[in-house]
Amino acid sequence: MKLSFLSLLFFLSSTVVSAQISKILHQTFEIGEVAEIQLNLVGEYEIEKWAGNTILTETKIELYDASPGIFNHFVEVGRYDIEGEINETTAQLASKDTERQAIRTREGECFEIIKVKIFVPDTFDVVDNTRLIRQAEQEEEK
């Protein structure tokens, strides 16, 4: 009897524990010889330099208390996408979903953690958290 009661308790407690779903999304942007990068992204993000000649974004998403179907839906509709507009002088990156409303299910609100890293060519210097300038251009401005 004790064994079956403990088994039942374990089963019930394991069904209450919230599940975590996670995914890492990558996007690349060809920037050519642009002189400036402008960022208009929702939430916090890190800027890291790398030896590449493109911009690479890495978005790590963790979603709690939601089904895989809900999670996949939000990935497919572009909730976490970053859009790029590149012209001759400027590359502009912006979040596709600028509001990111809370995700709610019948059980309540889902907890979401989004971490974004922006890898930019090491030929750029960070002016502030939303603007980077190619090093040669920055020297000419002085």
Q: Count of domains in the chain?
A: 1
Average pLDDT over residues 23-46: 96
d(CA 40, CA 58): 16
Question: Per the domain annotation, does 7 fall within a domain?
Answer: no
pLDDT tier, 8 (very low <50, low <70, confident <90, very high otherwise): very low
114-126 pLDDT, tens per residue? 999 999 999 999 9
Structural domain includes residue 137: yes
Does residue 5 belong to any structural domain of this protein?
A: no
Query: Is the per-residue pLDDT at 14 higher than 50?
Result: no
- Is 12 part of any domain? no
- Tell me if 34 is assigned to some domain: yes
Q: Mapping DSSP to helix (H, G, I), strand (E, B) and coil, where does residue 140 land?
A: helix
Contacting residues for 117 by C-beta, under 8 A, at least 6 apart: 45, 46, 47, 48, 57, 58
CB-based contact 41:94 (threshold 8 Å): yes
Residues spanned by the domain of 70: 19-141
- Rounded Cα gap, residues 115 and 130, in angstroms: 16
